[in-house]
């Protein structure tokens, strides 16, 4: 199996994971009901790309066989907290002014278990470091006190004999729910953030805010070298509205 990463760009050079393409929890103010979620999401992406720069990556997965089709398996979004008005719904906010926020990582269910959320978070850390950002923050869903359960087991999908892969508490599929319901919101699992070296800076029993300083980069997941990073971000001259080279 092969995995490739690509930054979101103005020309739609990177697709979005299916849920990521229509989720607007983070991109709209709390309790705002979108009329066209996919359009609203694209408008947000294009606006942030023009105003701030790269704000997301997609991981593509393929079998590696000749003729196999790459599928957008996971997408991460990140930007300064001000670009995510949905943060207002989180009780442990706001985001620190010197940090960028990873809103969430959307992973298509068939590809859970490939640790795509970890590698995408590491890709964000690399980009943040290159842009001189001091830290990255994220909100976590703390399921430590939730009822025992998991993905599958002899006592049923949520019974005491169920098995939950390491780091996947909080990733189970959640009901659509009301847009004001945090239990159905796309919030990262606290387990994943802690495994990535994030520590709590905004305490809350259910939805704490985590932070990782750029200097304290220590993870099992590698970061791309400079040439790979240039390819990843599709580095090339950006044409301006006046037809210039953008250099």
Rounded to whole angstroms, the Cα distance separating 100 from 102 reads 7
Residue 221: partners with Cβ closer than 8 Å, 6 or more residues away: 115, 118, 119, 121, 122
Cα–Cα distance for residue pair 101/92, rounded to 1 Å: 13
pLDDT tens, per residue, the chain with 247 residues = 799 999 999 876 678 999 999 999 999 999 888 889 999 999 999 999 999 999 999 999 987 666 678 899 999 999 999 999 999 999 999 999 999 999 999 999 999 889 999 999 999 999 999 999 999 999 999 976 543 433 333 333 333 333 334 444 444 444 444 445 788 899 999 999 999 999 999 999 999 999 999 974 444 444 444 554 455 555 444 333 333 344 3
Give the integer Cα–Cα distance in Å for 124 and 112: 19
Q: Which domains does the chain have, with CATH numbers?
A: 2-146+186-232 (3.40.630.30)
Its pTM stands at 0.76
56 bridge partner residues: 77
Strands (E), 36-161: 56-62, 71-80, 99-107, 135-141
Segment holding 195, helix H or strand E: helix 190-195
Scan for tokens 């019974």, then name that residue.
Answer: 159
Question: Among positive and negative, which fits the CA dihedral 36, 42, 46, 49?
Answer: positive
């Amino acid at each position: 199996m092969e995995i490739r990463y690509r930054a979101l760009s103005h020309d739609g050079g990177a697709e979005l994971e299916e849920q990521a393409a229509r989720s607007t929890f983070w991109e709209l103010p709390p309790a705002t009901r979108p009329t066209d979620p996919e359009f609203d999401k694209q408008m947000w992406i294009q606006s942030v790309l023009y105003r701030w720069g790269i704000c997301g990556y997609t991981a593509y997965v393929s079998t590696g066989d000749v003729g196999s089709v790459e599928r957008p398996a996971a997408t991460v979004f990140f930007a300064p907290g001000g670009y995510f008005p949905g943060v207002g719904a989180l009780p442990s906010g706001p985001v620190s002014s010197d940090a960028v926020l990873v809103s969430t990582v959307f992973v298509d269910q068939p590809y859970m278990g490939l640790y795509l959320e970890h590698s995408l978070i590491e890709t964000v850390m690399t980009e943040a470091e290159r842009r001189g950002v001091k830290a990255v923050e994220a909100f976590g869903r703390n399921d430590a006190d939730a009822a025992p359960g998991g993905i599958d087991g002899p006592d049923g999908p949520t019974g005491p004999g169920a098995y939950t892969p390491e780091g996947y508490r909080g990733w189970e599929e959640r009901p659509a729910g009301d847009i004001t319901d945090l239990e159905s919101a796309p919030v990262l699992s606290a387990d994943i953030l802690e495994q990535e070296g994030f520590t709590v800076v905004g305490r809350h029993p259910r939805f704490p805010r985590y932070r990782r300083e750029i200097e304290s980069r220590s993870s099992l997941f590698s970061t791309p070298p400079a040439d790979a990073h240039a390819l990843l971000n599709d580095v090339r001259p950006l044409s301006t509205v006046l037809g210039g080279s953008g250099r």
